[in-house]
């Protein structure tokens, strides 16, 4: 669906990638990113594919997220 945002463990990955993606902190951060994206969609009246990922990242970092690998 065009307006569907998914968070958590709803992804396809090989065993190695999944081993880090299934960690609770990672799942929580995908939820945070989905929530920020949904809020931006509502505020700007745009679909998720029109949200600037850099803006989501700036907001998350501004709220204390550490997104560095």
Tokens 């809020």 sit at which residue?
39
Is the CA virtual torsion 17, 22, 25, 28 positive or negative? positive
pLDDT at 27: 77
C-alpha to C-alpha distance for 17 and 20, rounded to whole angstroms: 6
pLDDT higher at 7 or 34: 34
Q: What is the pTM of this model?
A: 0.82
pLDDT tens digits for 11-57? 778 888 778 777 777 778 889 999 999 999 999 999 999 999 999 99
Among candidates 1, 2, 63, 55, which has minimal Cα distance to 32?
Answer: 63
């Amino acid at each position: 669906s065009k307006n569907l945002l998914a968070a958590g463990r709803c992804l396809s990955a090989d065993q190695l990638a999944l081993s880090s993606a299934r960690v609770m902190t990672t799942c929580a951060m995908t939820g945070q990113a989905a929530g920020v994206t949904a809020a931006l969609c509502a505020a700007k009246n745009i679909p998720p594919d029109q949200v600037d990922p850099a803006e989501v990242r700036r907001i998350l970092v501004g709220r204390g997220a550490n997104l560095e690998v």
